[in-house]
Amino acid sequence: MAKRDFYEVLGVPKNASDDEIKKAYRKISSKYHPDRHQGDEAKATAEEKFKEGKEAYEMLSDPQKRAAYDQYGHAGVDPNMRGGFGGQEGFAGGGFAEAFGDIFGDMFGQQRRGGGGRQVYKGNDLSYAMEITLEEAAQGKDAQIKIPSWNDCDTCHGTGAKPGTEVKTCTTCNGNGVVQMRQGFFSVQQTCPTCHGSGKIIPEPCSACHGQGKIKSQKTLEIKIPAGIDDGMRIRSSGNGEPGTNGGPPGDLFIEIRVKQHEIFERDGDDLHCTVPISMTKAALGGEIEVPTLNGKAAIDIPEGTQPGKQFRLRGKGIKGLRSSVAGDLYCHIEVEIPVKLTEFQRKTLKEFDDSLQKGGGKHSPSSQSFADKFKRFFS
């Protein structure tokens, strides 16, 4: 049975970052861990999925193996194929195999590089969680956030070497950052295992930056929150992630928006919902009431005999979403309040009122009248 694509196994795209690959593997290992499943068949299926996920992670989490897999698929990482990637024989040159390696290297754009042909890598992306109010989400805002930044080390001036010492050229790859490895009849480039693609070695690292050449600090970033943004959306700030390696571009910053729960409104897309309590007499007699909106107050005319749960729609009083040309609506859900403590006079008055209803002196609510009719039919 043919092996599934490793990226497909983990459910990530081919350009997934190391963090995305790690998160995907953790999710799979948690879901399919054999100890979490009961029954022989379920346990066997889970164990197979668990092993499949583990193999995919082991390959894609290793930069060298991932590069070989991206270039040649499963054949590039199959240890049973002649040549392999592991022994010193991978550095051997000359002969028929190397001639084939040069031919296929040209075909796939993997020509050998001269001095300075180092491997460059984009920096990792950063995430920042930002909490805002519903009003700020609806109207937008300008905000300042503090994020990590990396500046050249003042001690070594960005070289990573201890002052008074020099950075050496890696002798394994001659400063190229990559070495040629043989995989059967193919000649494949992989990141140099000695310098990890930098093409240089630092014999005595700078004590201030530990050989990194950069010092981590903080900087203030101006962020514009667009009007209509919703909970869970992300804002991308290009180039404000971690620095790249060997001159590679920096990663990006993703600001994850979290909208605080509002004490009155609930958002549903571009619409807003709120519960409006009214008195029992207001529901029975009707009248005008004021209701809150995000932009102030609005009036609603309550008809006589309004029932609990009645919904009133105020057009255009919702939120104008990011992709909307008009604002949504506000839905007011009526909640009829029942008195919890009554005076003797109020009790007497309500009793007289109820007696008058029973004698046909008024119209019952639709639901109670319907129930009464059903009750009579049931026992007739």
CATH number at 270 reads 2.60.260.20
pLDDT in tens, 225-256: 999 999 999 999 999 998 887 778 999 999 99
Q: How far apart are CA 46 and CA 40, in angstroms?
A: 10
- Please, what sign has the CA dihedral across residues 317, 323, 326, 329? negative
Let me know if residue 146 belongs to a domain: no
Let me know if residue 364 belongs to a domain: yes
Final residue before a domain boundary, out of 36, 61, 86: 61
Contact criterion met (CB below 8 Å) for 292 and 264? yes
pTM to 2 decimal places: 0.57
Residue 1: give its domain's CATH number. Answer: 1.10.287.110
Spans of the chain, pLDDT less than 50: 81-116
Task: Looking at the structure, tell me whether residues 365 and 303 fall in a common domain.
Answer: no
Whole-Å CA distances, 67 to 4, 6, 73, 198? 17, 13, 9, 16
**Residues annotated in a binding site for Zn(2+):** 153, 156, 170, 173, 192, 195, 206, 209
Let me know if residue 82 belongs to a domain: no
Let me know if residue 190 belongs to a domain: no
Q: Is 186 exposed, middle or buried (0-12, 13-18, 19+ CB in 10 A)?
A: buried
**Residues annotated in a binding site:** 153, 156, 170, 173, 192, 195, 206, 209
Let me know if residue 212 belongs to a domain: no
Let me know if residue 271 belongs to a domain: yes
Task: Looking at the structure, tell me whether residues 272 and 324 fall in a common domain.
Answer: yes
Final residue before a domain boundary, out of 61, 78, 102: 61
Contact criterion met (CB below 8 Å) for 262 and 131? no
Q: Which run of H or E residues covers position 283?
A: helix 280-285
pLDDT at 31: 86
pLDDT at 112: 36
Final residue before a domain boundary, out of 20, 45, 61: 61
CA-CA-CA-CA dihedral for 209, 211, 216, 221, to nearest 10: 140
Number of domains present in the structure of the chain: 3
pLDDT at 222: 94
pLDDT at 286: 95
Let me know if residue 1 belongs to a domain: yes
Let me know if residue 75 belongs to a domain: no
Task: Looking at the structure, tell me whether residues 32 and 57 fall in a common domain.
Answer: yes
Range of the domain at 29: 1-61
